[in-house]
Structure 1
Amino acid sequence: MNVVSTVDPRDGRPRETHLRETSDPELESAVGQASSATEWLAGLGRHGRAGMLDEIAASLESHRADLVATAEGETGLGHPRLDFELTRAIIQFRMFGDVLRDGGYVEAAIDHAAETPLGPAPDVRRMLVPLGPVAVFGASNFPFAFSVAGGDTASALAAGCPVIVKAHPSHPLTSQASGEAIAAAVRRLGGPDGVVAVVHGQDAGLALVRHPAVRAAALTGSIGAARAIQTAIDERPYPIPFYGELSSVNPIVVLPAAATERGSQIAEGLFASFTGSGGQLCTKPGLAFIPSDPAGDELVEVLRDRVASAGGTVLLNERIRDAFVEAEARLERAGARVSARPDVASAPGFTVAPALLEIDISRLSAEIAEECFGPLLVVVRYGEAADLDRALAVVPPSLTGSIHTGTHDDRAAVRRLADQFAARAGRIVFDGYPTGVRVSWAQHHGGPWPSTNSLYTSVGATATRRFLRPLAWQDAPDWILPEELRDGSGEIPRRVDGRLEPGDPAARHGNATGGVVTS
């Protein structure tokens, strides 16, 4: 077995760890334990699993100092960002506990036996049930919130599915430590091994999604990684769902009145949004459409000053650094000119310079509109709002689309932009920036593309739906039915004989407050 190494991106030096890539027998054992753990999770019931998620949150909190320090040495993201991200991960586990206590996520429906216009009809009852063991692929840019202790793990556990996480090679020690913190919480509850497991190595990851006991896979990562996972899934005798959140451009449109009324404020927010966390966020804005008028000129000048005075940014790993340098050169060859870029040539490790590029809207092409993962923004200057219709058609579908409006901007133009984004994005942001993703009941983090399945979200309460399937019981005896489908069990919202019954609020435990994190 190969030794797993880690690299501190601040100096670029690899270091060996005590970890080894997962062997085939070890993978088989992990999947077997996960399959056995399914029964234990089912036996906990909704309220028991909610308590488990709270216990996991408490365990992560108790290991905060060590987890954050480990992640800082493997990602270079900095203590404040990582400390905040771990808080976000903890909030997610607690929120899904509230989702379980609410119970509406199971979509319980009961149709009693009755005479119908088509004759006698049987008693039919339906709800969502767990798929089984789930494979999760950790993200490079979120060592907590989209990795072992992330939303995929939390939502799958809430659904009742054991999780096997393929650790990202950019932060193997952080992944292992997170898994151990979660396992400690499960052990305190008397749970078995296999509720959450961590495996290492590319071969182990692909073998994981080929394994017949694995029933779903989730990834936040690159298109290349998604294609490799999908190819492995296609080799199975029967398919499984694959939920991937991939690259995204996240265009922002600043309308003329907005630039006039608050151009400097928008420039500051835009700078923070595209450079925060090194621009290594799936919701980072990559294109900003700014009017070619004096107010737009002032806005861009503020952006230039902020970028020119910025220091270097440490990227997560060598591959991301090299891809950033290559993408920036490609954009320049395609016609975008460098408007501002500080000199960081002598910086150590995987450090790059933030870059502001500009191009006229008449020269915008599909190549210019491709994602550049890292601290780079292309400013597209436009003359008339009508020019935006044709230009946005060149931009690929994204997770988000943002519109900044002013007091005197034409409402028809705003409506037209909103309609375009509604057809091509999963979230429309007004007068804000896409890199704040609230963890809440109403959140949707996905899109027509780059989501591999546009029906579901990877953030928010409904993320559990990815790891559930519907099951109906016909004329079943009461004793064999799940509690949620039995007559007289009015704790949760249910649709009974076509009427929605809200359930008993006194029997539930409140709502999640939600939180905000960049993503």
Structure 2
Amino acid sequence: MGVTEPVLIAGQWQAARDVCGSFRAEDPSHGEPIGPAFPVCGGADIEAAVAAACEAAAALAAAAPERIAAFLDTYATLIDKDAETLVALAHAETALAAPTRLAGNELPRTSDQLRQAAKAARRFSWTQPVIDTTKGLRAHYAPLGKPVLVFGPNNFPFAFNAVSGSDFASAIVARNPVIAKAHPSHPATSKRLAELAHEALHACGLPLASVQLLYHFDNALGLQLAGDARLGAIAFTGSRSGGMALKAVADRAGVPIYAEMSSVNPVFLLPGALAERGAALAQEFFSSCTMGSGQFCTNPGIVIVPMTPAGDAFVAAAVEHFATAAPNVLFAGNVRDRLEQAIRALRDAGAELRAGGAPGDGPGHHYAPTLLSVDEAIFLAHADALQGEAFGPASLLVRASGVETMVAIAGCFEGNLTGTLYRAADGSDDDAWRQVAAVLRPRVGRLSCNKMPTGVAVSPAMNHGGPYPSTSHAGFTAVGMPAAIRRFAALHCYDGVPDDLLPVELRDRNPGAIPRLVDGQWTCANIMPSTGATP
């Protein structure tokens, strides 16, 4: 089988002990294997990783928040220093633009969210202490005391990587060991990130088994692992079929799984907005749909366009943009194949192909930007089939005769990550905006106005989540501290426990100006032991 790259298990880089096969990364632009061989791990390696993570859990849960923060800051600094190498690896494995997407956006975002996680650790913000002095009750969010399994996706080699992304950072802030399952689309990038994380663990004195990396394993073993009750939680970003399969076994084992799956992110163009700036909106839509070759979970997959002259002009302009664009590079052959299947399903359900709809010529994994359209009657009659995700540079236009029909269309959508409404600057669309938004709001995690959905800011106010089936739990986000951290925390309550035996953030003396809900009032003050009041 040949020599394969080492895995990171039990605090050390070592040869996989149970190799079931091997694979290499692929250059998507040419469809050729690149780089070294990586192992497909068997059950023995998975068991070793779980056992080591369980053994490290108690020590990591007891680690001082400052040490956790120091690890995250050190890791972020190492990533920044190694940017040139990381960008070169990720570009080779994904074909994402090196200067703009990777170096200019995603890598800085990754180190920034690690530093935001470090701040959350120092400020205890994720623990949300609540104190009732009258009843002698105190509660906060605390570590799970078990490992978190993180499945990384193919479309963000840094910012959602299993060993550097938001899920990873959130689990570590909550002081849980991470078993990182890398995506096989970018194994060398993941290995280099894990090397930097391992270096940071050494420097900060945390348990070395706090971070472990496996590159790939058989789907059956993945399902078996997801059903292991020793896990505290699972984070998954990927396809609906994969997420739902993992959720089924995790649910049976009582393991919480936070799965981000599929989303079409409907965009409603209201009449006034189109009349005001239709040509600019056509360009904005095209740019958003083809950004990163359309391989975003927030890609504008369905756009609702009024049946007006301005709507007709928008459609004509959009068709021109799509029809004249060069084929986009996709991550892998299976991504292209699934995109073709999704487009075929949309056409079978009644959508008309307006541009694209075919792979590019030559080697590599290319696909033409694709635009389809359907009228309101067909969409309303076949809404389930016509809102299937087409992961790639593809979108469906739905023509609507009026605001009443737009409201009906909004009511057909299942849960999505985002929903967008474009309104006119003069306020002429505001009544329509309110009508459509009232129906769309409970169906999306983030409601946007006058902006395409593809941008996801790393902010405490961001919700990168949404109603089922876009995610497995509507009340949680994968981006934004401290909310993202609480996915990997347990609510611990203390009843009548003496002050000196409580966790520090629940004691009478506030350890560092932490906002705490004391007897119904948010305060950073200490509690006076004699009265329970705050000074």
User: Could you state the TM-score of these two structures normalised by the residue count of structure 2?
Assistant: 0.88
Q: After the TM superposition, which residues 107-118 of structure 1 pair with which residues of structure 2 at under 5 Å, given as runs?
A: 107-112=128-133, 114=134
- CA–CA separation in structure 2 for the residues paired with 1:274 and 1:353: 12
The reply on whether 1:460 has 2:480 as its aligned counterpart is: yes
Q: 2:423 — aligned with what?
A: 405
Q: How many residues align?
A: 494
Whole-Å Cα distance in 1 between the matches of residues 428 and 518 of structure 2? 48
Q: Which moved more, 1:245-254 or 1:164-173?
A: 164-173
Kept in 2, the 8 Å contact 1:249–1:396? The answer is: no
CA offsets per residue over residues 227-255 of structure 1, 9 Å max, x none? 2212332453xx01100010001000001
Alpha-carbon distance, 1:343 to partner: 7.3
CA distance in 2, matches of 1:312, 1:76: 13
1:54 & 1:408 partners in 2: Cα distance?
46
- Supply the RMSD in Å over aligned alpha carbons: 1.8
Name the counterpart of 1:376: 394
For residues 251 and 102 of structure 1, do their structure 2 counterparts lie closer, same or farther at Cα, with a shift above 3 Å needed? same
Q: Give the one of 507, 515, 521 matched to 1:493.
A: 515
Q: CA deviation at 1:326?
A: 1.6
The answer to whether the 8 Å contact 2:154/2:185 transfers is: yes
Structure 2 counterpart of 1:358:
373
- Most deviating of 187-196 and 319-328: 187-196
Q: Is the 8 A contact 2:229 2:255 kept in 1?
A: no
- C-alpha separation between the residues in 2 aligned to 1:343 and 1:207? 38
User: Whole-Å Cα distance in 2 between the matches of residues 126 and 281 of structure 1?
Assistant: 38
Instruction: Give, in whole Å, the separation in 1 of the partners of 2:365 and 2:157.
Output: 18
Q: Distance in 2 between matches of 1:92 and 1:68?
A: 17
Aligned counterpart, 1:231: 248
Instruction: Report what 1:442 is aligned to.
Output: 461
Report the Cα offset of residue 503 of structure 1: 5.1
Counterparts of 1:140-159 in structure 2 under 5 Å? Answer: 140-147=154-161, 148-159=163-174
Is the 1:3–1:17 Cα contact (8 Å) retained in structure 2? no
Q: CA deviation at 1:424?
A: 0.5
Other-structure match for 1:88: 109
Matches within 5 A, 1:118-129: 121=135, 123-129=136-142
Correspondence 1:256 to 2:277: no
Choose the corresponding residue for 2:234, options 213, 217, 234.
Answer: 217
The aligned counterpart of 1:475 is 496
1:325 aligned onto 2:344? no
Counterpart AA for 1:172: P
In structure 2, do the counterparts of structure 1 residues 127 and 344 end up closer, same or farther at CA, with 3 Å as the change threshold?
closer
| Structure 1 match to 2:6 | none
> 3-state DSSP class of the match of 1:453?
coil
The alpha-carbon distance between structure 1 residues 254 and 94, as it changes in their structure 2 partners (threshold 3 A), is same
In structure 1, the partner of 2:318 is 303
State the alpha-carbon separation in 1 of the partners of residues 62 and 435 from structure 2. 51
Q: Which residue of 2 aligns with 1:387?
A: 405
Give the deviation of 1:490 after TM superposition. Answer: 5.1
Q: Percent identity?
A: 36
Deviation at 1:55, TM superposition (A): 0.8
Contact residue 223 and residue 246 of structure 2 kept, 8 A: yes
Which residue does 2:443 correspond to in 1?
Answer: 424
Counterpart Cα distance in 2 of 1:180 and 1:206: 27
User: What is residue 517 of structure 1 aligned with on the other side?
Assistant: none
Q: Mark the runs of 5 or more structure 1 residues left unpaired by the alignment.
A: 115-120, 505-519
* Residues 312/169 of structure 1: CA separation in 2 closer, same or farther (3 Å cut): same
1:470-518, Cα deviation, whole Å (9 max, x unpaired): 11122222322111111122521112233221359xxxxxxxxxxxxxx
Structure 2 unaligned runs (5+)? Answer: 1-18, 527-535
Residue 390 of structure 1, CA deviation: 1.7
CA distance, structure 2, for counterparts of residue 33 and residue 87 of structure 1: 31
Partner SS, residue 205 of structure 1 = helix
| Secondary structure of the corresponding residue to residue 469 of structure 1 | strand
Shifted more, 17-26 versus 179-188: the winner is 17-26
State the alpha-carbon separation in 2 of the partners of residues 101 and 401 from structure 1: 34
Which amino acid in structure 1 is aligned with residue 367 of structure 2?
Answer: V
SS at match of 1:473: strand
- Structure 2 residue corresponding to 1:206, chosen from 218, 223, 238: 223
Aligned to 1:12: 31
Alignment of 1:187-202 (within 5 A): 187-202=202-217
Distance 1:381 1:235, change over 3 A: closer
CA distance in structure 2 between the aligned counterparts of 1:149 and 1:196, rounded to whole angstroms = 10
State whether residues 448 and 454 of structure 1, in contact with CA within 8 Å, keep that contact through their aligned partners in structure 2: yes
Distance in 1, matches of 2:82 and 2:499, equals 44
Distance 1:260 1:66, change over 3 A: same
Preserved contact between residue 309 and residue 342 of structure 1 (Cα < 8 Å): no
How many angstroms apart in 2 are the aligned matches of 1:420 and 1:483?
Answer: 45
Q: C-alpha displacement at 1:16, in angstroms?
A: 6.6
Q: Normalising by the residue count of structure 1, what TM-score does the alignment of the two structures yield?
A: 0.91
**Quick one: which amino acid aligns to residue 200 of structure 1?**
Y
Aligned counterparts of 2:67 and 2:326: Cα–Cα separation in 1: 49
| Structure 1 residue 271, shift from structure 2 partner | 0.6
Residue 431 of structure 1 and its aligned partner are, at CA, apart by: 0.5
**Aligned to 2:178, which of 163, 184, 191?**
163
| Cα pair 2:499 2:507 within 8 Å, conserved | yes
The residue that corresponds to 1:272 in the other structure is 287
1:134 pairs, out of 135, 141, 148, with 148
Mapped partners of 1:211, 1:343: distance in 2:
42
